[in-house]
Amino acid sequence: MKKAIIKATESLGKALPLILGTILFVSLLTTVVPESFYIRFFNKNIVFDSFIGSIIGSISAGTPIISYILGGEMLKQGISLIAVTTFLVTWVTVGFIQIPAESIALGRKFAIWRNLSAFVLSIIVAFTTVLILNIV
């Protein structure tokens, strides 16, 4: 038990600078990139927009609170609910920016598979969510 605690502490100590750097970088991106930046990539094609929403959300990771505000602004600009949903889901669950830190903490293979599966599932979740909302 003592060896496990020491090993875990050492691993965390090695990963801490990368984790802090990633958090600072994401915070900087969230502050510097205006909301209008994201809106110009969508073209009102549901399939294309959902894929674009997933890509943009994956690259520009952020906090859930900011994503709700940004999602509301996107909906006001006429972007489809599917595109906004894929953006929001990937914004919170997929983080290509965080892969190096996640790889150190959890292993490279796990980090890549988790992010890829979350990316694909975000599109499925978006279509399912919109389908359910249109039925109710």
Number of domains in the chain: 1
What is the full DSSP assignment across 80-95?
-HHHHHHHHHHHHH--
Residue 77: give the domain boundaries.
2-135
Short-list 58, 64, 56, CA closest to 37: 56
Q: Where are the alpha helices (DSSP H) in 1-136?
A: 2-32, 35-39, 46-59, 64-76, 81-93, 99-106, 108-135
Contact 99, 58 (CB under 8 A): no
Q: What is the pLDDT of residue 58?
A: 86
pLDDT digits (tens, 9 = 90+) for 63-79: 676 777 778 878 887 88
pLDDT per residue over 18-27, tens digit each?
677 766 766 6
- pLDDT less than 70: residues of the chain: 18, 22-23, 25-27, 29-30, 33-38, 61-63, 65, 135-136
Terminal CA-to-CA distance of the chain, rounded, Å? 52
Residue 117: the pLDDT is 94
